[in-house]
Chain A
Amino acid sequence: MDLYVAAFGFGLVGMSVIAIAAVGFTMQFGITNMINLAYGEVMISSAYVAYYINRAGVTIWVGMIAGALFGAVFSFLLNRFVYSPFQRKGTSHIGMVIVSLAVSLMIANLLLPIVGYYSVSYQDTTGGLLRAGGIVLTTNQIAIIGVAVVIMLLVHGLLRYTRLGKAMRATAANPTLARNCGIPTQRVIDAVWLITGALCGLAGVVAAMNSDSFAIANGAGFLITALAAAVLGGAGQPYGAMIGAVIIGMITELSAAAWAPEYKEVVAFGILVLVMVLRPQGLLSKRGALAAAG
Chain B
Amino acid sequence: MSRFKPSPFVSAIVAIFILAACGGTTSTGGGLGSGDLLVGVIAPFTGADAGLGPAYYAACLAAAPSINSNGGVGGRNVKCEQFDTRGEPADAVPAANKMIASNSNLMAVVGCTSDEAATVAPIIDRAHIPMFCMTGQSEFNKTALKYFHRLVPADVYDAFAMVGSALFGPGHDPYKKAALVFGDDIGSQAFVAPATNAFTHLGGTIAINQPIHLGASSYRTEVAAMLKTNPDVILTEALGSAGTYLKEVKTQNGGKMIPFIGSSATIDPTWFQQVRDAIGINDLLKYYGGVDLGYTFSGPAYSEFLTNLNAAASTFADAPKYKQRGSTLHLYDGIIMAALAMVATNSADPKVYNSKIIDIANGTSGATVVNTYKDGVAALKAGKSIRFVGAGGENNFDQYNNSQSGYILVGYDKDGNEVTVGHLTPDQTSKLIAAGG
Contact = CB atoms under 8 A, between A and B. Distances in A.
B166 to A, nearest CB: 23
B221 A118 contact: no
A136 B213 contact: no
B390 interface: no
A261 B213 contact: yes
B218 A265 contact: no
Given A2-B228, A118-B51, A138-B251, A256 B215 contact: no
A119 B247 CA distance: 13
A256 B243 contact: no
Given A121-B278, A126-B251, A261-B225, A218 B217 contact: yes
A10 B318 contact: no
Query: Most chain-B Cβ atoms within 10 A of its Cβ — which of A215, A221, A225, A260?
Result: A215
Contact of A257 (B221, B244, B252, B270): B221
Contacts of B273: 118
Contacts of A256: 221-222, 225
Interface in B210-241: 210-213, 215-222, 224-225, 228, 240-241
Contacts of A263: 213
A212 B244 contact: yes
Interface stretch (B42-50, B102-110, B156-164, B380-388): B42-50
| Interface size bracket, B side | 35 or more
A14 interface: yes
A180 to B, nearest CB: 44
B210 A121 contact: no
Given A117-B45, A117-B54, A257-B221, A213 B243 contact: yes
A172 to B, nearest CB: 30
Contacts of B46: 117, 217
Contacts of B91: none
A121 to B, nearest CB: 4
A207 interface: yes
Contact of B252 (A120, A136, A210): A136
B36 interface: no
Contacts of A207: 217
Interface of B: 45-48, 50-51, 54, 184, 210-213, 215-222, 224-225, 228, 240-241, 243-244, 247-248, 251-252, 254-255, 270, 273-274, 277-278, 318
22 contacts: A3-B228, A6-B220, A17-B217, A116-B318, A117-B46, A117-B50, A119-B270, A120-B274, A121-B274, A126-B247, A126-B251, A129-B252, A207-B217, A212-B218, A212-B248, A213-B244, A217-B46, A218-B215, A221-B216, A261-B212, A262-B184, A264-B216
Q: Can you list the 6 inter-chain pairs with the closest CB atoms, starting with the nearest?
A: A213-B243, A10-B220, A256-B221, A212-B247, A262-B184, A121-B277
